[in-house]
A and B are shown apart, each in its own frame.
Chain A
Amino acid sequence: MSVIAAKTQKLSLVQAVTDGLRTVMKDQEEVLVLGEDVGKNGGVFRATEGLQQEFGEDRVIDTPLSEAGIVGTAIGLAINGFLPVVEMQFLGFIYPAFEQIMSHATRIRMRTMSRFHVPMVIRAPYGAGVKAPEIHSDSVEAIFTHMPGIKVVCPSNPYDAKGLLIASIEDPDPVLFLEPMRSYRAFKDEVPTERYTVEIGKANRLKEGTDVTVIAWGAMIPLAMKAAENAQKQNIHCEVIDLRTLYPLDRETISTSVQKTGRAVIIHEAHATSGLGADILSLIQDTSFLYLKAPIQRVTGFDVPVPFYTLEKHYLPDENRIIEAIKRAVNF
């Protein structure tokens, strides 16, 4: 934890996002919120609830249904001194805005030799497990971690959600802020009422262990922790690392841990092929090859579109699959 809070309140992850937005908007008039139904309606997941009443229609803006338009507008605002926070209703809805992000948001700093930069945040609920329809459950972070110029951040708990969101708004470059919608209201944490940040680019070691390093983020963290506790009963001591930032990766935390344990299990709900897991695997092989006692294991979603809700749980990594992978690594 980066601050010792004098005052805290118990918040869910989505409430911590609202609290983070409110905290920054109170301090800085340049912070704007844009998106479909973010104003009067308070957002599809109520993440911006009450903000329009508090800060007015000029700062919490209901936009037309046009993701490319929203992101394009936000880029213009950001270049001209505002700090826009865009809400995508679901990460899967970001595809129409892809061109704006890839061709402009990520490149303006380089294109203008740093005369202009894009201090913009795109918030996007992502992931499966809430029985949403097609496209609503996508976990396509790898599409964005592939592109230099945009940071990708993904909190797994309310404390990190507020701290990372504020850090993302303060960041001078575009940040894609992924919110695990499965964890939105799953549990509550003590969250400081004041303004604080969680540093972008730093992973968090949630549990110390000696036998195997379990690497995950977002909605996979509660599963990883459960599996690690279960493994502990079988005398396997897992070290659990919450990446928190997916780009740039915290190379040091990952390699230090794997060099200690000699084994790694990577968990993500996105498809396996060209998923971020492959990159982490490659990072480990670059930094820690000589320490490896077993092949690195991956537990991921399958290479199919996220299926409808009757099959959703078969698609997603579950505790059993994670435990099996941990055992494969340890018993190799």
Chain B
Amino acid sequence: MVEVKLHDIGEGMTEGEIVSYLVKVGDRVQSDQPLVEVQTDKMTAELPSPTTGIVKEILVSEGSLVPIGTTILIIESGQTKQVQHEVTVSSNRNKAEKTNRLILAAPYTRKIARELGIDIEKINGTGPAGRITDEDVYNYGTKAVEPMAPKIKEVTNNEVESDEIPFKGRRKQIASLMSKSLFTIPHVTHFEEVDMTNLLDCKQQCKDSGVNVSVAAFFIKAIQLTLIKYPIFNSVLDEDHGVIKLKKEYNIGIAVDVEDGLIVPVIPHVEQKTVKAIHEEMKIAIEKAQNNTLTKADISNGTFTISNVGPLGGIGATPIINHPQTALIAFHKTKKKPVVINDEIVIRSMMNLSMSFDHRVADGATAVRFTNEFVHLIENPSRMLLEMK
């Protein structure tokens, strides 16, 4: 008997949703054959079979949310025939799990857990080498008190009736990342106006010659070129070691709006890519995001993020930085507007952008110089050509 358990498939996840089974009871499976699709906070992953054998039992139904360590299904791999024996194994499951797990935690952390009445062995550590931090205990504690909610509901009987959406999975992950970013990074946002006319002309010319690339691809290239001049915005503040790490790769994340929330696939090594290549990769990334097939690699190692909300509308925003990055730019709706150029009123395609940055790391003047440079490249696409490698 081999119990297939939900294990941590990346970045200290604590729970996952069973999306669908790729096998059914009685199926013969090979070692490493995918058994089940699991949706974590950030991505969908397949759990491979740890052994060759026959699927004996499926314990968790599709659509259920289960914590790490839960046995999902059982594979019969050997000659085990005694049903009695099998029962003993499964009833002892929880006990065995508890005593076998090695827990790394400082005495003080253990004390907090004990005082909160939390079994520390159930917590997944996010500290170095998987150590459980004080924060992990507090976070777990918040989860543990969730069952209290219905009680409160009974008491306040004059509450307005409401429909309920479960606050879990990706929504919850987004919430926690956003709170973390906003609570740790002192955000400053400044706004700028960009004349898109020349870039749109350039895009049209490309299209006429048979190459259709999106405006966003130009943005990404221009951002990367600007980051070379202002590397402070391609950095991560490492407070623990008292350093600002200027990243030597330009991995630009694109905030993509999909049905169940925001997800940020990353275009790696933009500095090595043409606008066309960026466009192609971006198309694939967005498609993957929409189909929920992004892997951990697709969403990791971003160094700067853009949010292109233009197609939806809106003229300004105060975007929240994608922690632990240093800055994020949002692009808004482009519309034709009367603009004064050389004392004449002309019609130009204008767009607003909003740049949020970490005021611990950079100052307003640097951020303004950064956007000035970016705007200059976008307004003069030919200049951008000269800068490209």
Chain B: minimal CB distance from A130 (Å): 35
Is residue A294 within 8 Å, beta carbon to beta carbon, of the partner chain?
yes
Q: Are A290 and B241 in contact (CB under 8 A)?
A: no
Which chain B residues lie closer than 8 Å to A262 at the CB level? 108
Is residue A331 within 8 Å, beta carbon to beta carbon, of the partner chain?
yes
Binary contact track A313-332/B, C-beta < 8 Å → 1, others 0: 00000000000000000011
Q: Which of B106, B240, B242 contacts A294 (CB 8 A)?
A: B106
* Cα of A294 to Cα of B134 in the assembled complex, Å: 12
Chain B: minimal CB distance from A285 (Å): 9
Q: Are B242 and A290 in contact (CB under 8 A)?
A: no
Is residue A292 within 8 Å, beta carbon to beta carbon, of the partner chain?
yes
Chain B's closest residue to A236 (CB) is B242
Q: Are B111 and A291 in contact (CB under 8 A)?
A: yes
* Cα of A207 to Cα of B111 in the assembled complex, Å: 28
Chain A's closest residue to B107 (CB) is A292
Per the 8 Å Cβ criterion, residues 54-111 of B in contact with A are 106-111
Which chain A residues lie closer than 8 Å to B106 at the CB level? 292-294, 332
* Cα of A290 to Cα of B110 in the assembled complex, Å: 8
Chain A: minimal CB distance from B113 (Å): 11
Is residue A289 within 8 Å, beta carbon to beta carbon, of the partner chain?
yes
Q: Are A331 and B241 in contact (CB under 8 A)?
A: yes
* Cα of A262 to Cα of B106 in the assembled complex, Å: 10
* Cα of A331 to Cα of B107 in the assembled complex, Å: 16
Q: Are A290 and B107 in contact (CB under 8 A)?
A: yes
Q: Are A293 and B240 in contact (CB under 8 A)?
A: no
Is chain B's interface secondary structure helix, strand, loop, or mixed overall? helix
Q: Are A234 and B242 in contact (CB under 8 A)?
A: yes
Q: Are A289 and B240 in contact (CB under 8 A)?
A: no
Q: Are A331 and B240 in contact (CB under 8 A)?
A: yes
Interface centre among B107, B110, B134, B242 (most CB of A within 10 A): B107
Q: Are B109 and A293 in contact (CB under 8 A)?
A: yes
Chain B: minimal CB distance from A326 (Å): 13
Q: Are A289 and B107 in contact (CB under 8 A)?
A: yes
Which chain A residues lie closer than 8 Å to B108 at the CB level? 262, 290-293
Per the 8 Å Cβ criterion, residues 119-147 of A in contact with B are none
Which chain A residues lie closer than 8 Å to B242 at the CB level? 234
Interface centre among A289, A290, A291 (most CB of B within 10 A): A290
Chain B: minimal CB distance from A213 (Å): 14
Binary contact track A62-105/B, C-beta < 8 Å → 1, others 0: 00000000000000000000000000000000000000000000
* Cα of A166 to Cα of B249 in the assembled complex, Å: 67
* Cα of A234 to Cα of B239 in the assembled complex, Å: 10
Chain B: minimal CB distance from A287 (Å): 12
Chain A: minimal CB distance from B292 (Å): 38
Which chain B residues lie closer than 8 Å to A291 at the CB level? 107-108, 111
Which chain A residues lie closer than 8 Å to B240 at the CB level? 331
Interface centre among B106, B111, B240, B242 (most CB of A within 10 A): B106
* Cα of A300 to Cα of B111 in the assembled complex, Å: 30
Chain B: minimal CB distance from A258 (Å): 11
Which chain B residues lie closer than 8 Å to A293 at the CB level? 106-109, 134
Which chain B residues lie closer than 8 Å to A234 at the CB level? 242
Which chain B residues lie closer than 8 Å to A332 at the CB level? 106
Chain B: minimal CB distance from A203 (Å): 23
Chain B's closest residue to A234 (CB) is B242
* Cα of A292 to Cα of B107 in the assembled complex, Å: 6
* Cα of A290 to Cα of B107 in the assembled complex, Å: 5
Chain A: minimal CB distance from B88 (Å): 37
* Cα of A147 to Cα of B69 in the assembled complex, Å: 54
* Cα of A262 to Cα of B133 in the assembled complex, Å: 14
Which chain B residues lie closer than 8 Å to A294 at the CB level? 106
Chain A: minimal CB distance from B139 (Å): 17
Chain B's closest residue to A332 (CB) is B106
Chain A's closest residue to B111 (CB) is A290
* Cα of A291 to Cα of B110 in the assembled complex, Å: 10
Chain B's closest residue to A291 (CB) is B108
Which chain B residues lie closer than 8 Å to A292 at the CB level? 106-108
* Cα of A262 to Cα of B108 in the assembled complex, Å: 8
Chain A: minimal CB distance from B143 (Å): 23
Per the 8 Å Cβ criterion, residues 113-154 of B in contact with A are 134
Chain A: minimal CB distance from B209 (Å): 56
* Cα of A331 to Cα of B240 in the assembled complex, Å: 6
Which chain A residues lie closer than 8 Å to B109 at the CB level? 293
* Cα of A234 to Cα of B243 in the assembled complex, Å: 11
Chain A: minimal CB distance from B377 (Å): 38
Chain A's closest residue to B240 (CB) is A331
Chain A: minimal CB distance from B141 (Å): 17
Per the 8 Å Cβ criterion, residues 250-301 of A in contact with B are 262, 289-294
Chain A: minimal CB distance from B272 (Å): 35
* Cα of A57 to Cα of B241 in the assembled complex, Å: 62
* Cα of A299 to Cα of B108 in the assembled complex, Å: 23
Chain A: minimal CB distance from B231 (Å): 24
Per the 8 Å Cβ criterion, residues 170-193 of A in contact with B are none
* Cα of A155 to Cα of B107 in the assembled complex, Å: 34
Chain B's closest residue to A288 (CB) is B107
* Cα of A29 to Cα of B106 in the assembled complex, Å: 57
Chain A's closest residue to B242 (CB) is A234
Interface centre among B108, B110, B242 (most CB of A within 10 A): B108
* Cα of A177 to Cα of B34 in the assembled complex, Å: 74
Per the 8 Å Cβ criterion, residues 222-253 of A in contact with B are 234
Chain B: minimal CB distance from A297 (Å): 14
* Cα of A234 to Cα of B241 in the assembled complex, Å: 10
* Cα of A292 to Cα of B240 in the assembled complex, Å: 19
Chain A's closest residue to B239 (CB) is A235
Q: Can you list 18 A-B pairs with a CB-CB distance of less than 8 A?
A: A234-B242, A262-B108, A290-B107, A290-B108, A290-B110, A291-B107, A291-B108, A292-B106, A292-B107, A292-B108, A293-B106, A293-B107, A293-B108, A293-B109, A293-B134, A294-B106, A331-B240, A332-B106
Binding site for A on B (CB under 8 A): 106-111, 134, 240-242
Inter-chain pairs besides A291-B107, A293-B107, 6 sampled, C-beta below 8 Å: A290-B107, A290-B110, A292-B107, A293-B109, A293-B134, A332-B106
Which 8 A-B residue pairings sit nearest by Cβ, starting from the closest? Answer: A290-B111, A293-B108, A292-B107, A293-B106, A331-B240, A290-B107, A289-B107, A262-B108
